[in-house]
Amino acid sequence: MQNPPQRRASPWLSRRDEDAMAKLWVKFQRSFRRRPVRFFTLLALYLAAGSLVFLHAGFTGEPRVAGSQRSPGAGEGLGLPYLGGTRLSRGFQEVAVGRRRGHWFKGMAKEPAERSRVGDHSAVRSRAPKGRGGREKEEDRARYIGCYVDNTRSRTLRGVSFFDYKKMTVFRCQDNCAERGYLYAGLEFGAECYCGHKVQAPNASESECNMECKGERSSTCGGANRLSIYRLELAQESARRYGSAIFRGCFRQPDNVSIALPASQPMPNMSVDKCVDFCTEKEFPLSVLAGTVCRCGFPTTLFPLHEREDEQLCAQRCAGEEFESCGTTEFLLVYQTQVQDNRCMDRRFLPTRSRQLVALASFPGAGNTWARHLIELATGFYTGSYYFDGSLYNKGFKGERDHWRSGRTICIKTHESGQKEIEAFDSAILLIRNPYKSLMAEFNRKFAGHLGYAAHAHWRGKEWPEFVANYAPWWATHTLDWLRFGRKVLVVHFEDLKQDLFTQLKRMVGLLGITACEDRLLCVEGQKDGNFKRSGLRKLEYDPYTPEMRKMISGYIRTVDAALKLRNLSGVPDDYYPR
For residue range 328-386, list pLDDT tens digits in order: 999 999 999 988 888 898 899 999 999 899 999 999 999 999 999 999 999 999 999 99
> With 80 as the cut, is the pLDDT of residue 30 above it?
no
Q: What is the pLDDT of residue 139?
A: 42
Q: What is the pLDDT of residue 69?
A: 36
Q: Which residues pair with 489 in a beta bridge?
A: 428
Among 119-133, 287-301, 388-402, the minimum mean pLDDT is found in 119-133
> With 50 as the cut, is the pLDDT of residue 137 above it?
no
Bigger pLDDT: 188 vs 11: 188
pLDDT-based confidence at 533, cuts 50/70/90? low
For residues 471 and 422, give the distance between their C-alpha atoms in angstroms, rounded to a whole number. Answer: 19
Among 107-116, 169-178, 225-234, the minimum mean pLDDT is found in 107-116
User: By the 8 A CB rule, do 67 and 83 touch?
Assistant: yes
For residues 472 and 344, give the distance between their C-alpha atoms in angstroms, rounded to a whole number. Answer: 37
Q: Which residues pair with 293 in a beta bridge?
A: 266, 290
pLDDT-based confidence at 41, cuts 50/70/90? low
Q: What is the pLDDT of residue 541?
A: 67
Q: Is 184 helix (H, G, I), strand (E, B) or coil?
A: strand
Q: What's the rounded mean pLDDT across residues 445-451?
A: 78
> With 70 as the cut, is the pLDDT of residue 262 above it?
yes
Bigger pLDDT: 52 vs 477: 477
> With 50 as the cut, is the pLDDT of residue 164 above it?
yes
CA angle 442, 444, 448 (to 5 degrees): 125
What mean pLDDT, rounded, does the chain reach? 78
Q: What is the distance of C-alpha 397 from the center of its chain? A: 20
Quickly count: other Cβ atoms within 10 Å of residue 121's Cβ: 17
Bigger pLDDT: 169 vs 323: 169
Fill in the DSSP letter of residue 469: H
Q: What is the pLDDT of residue 257?
A: 93
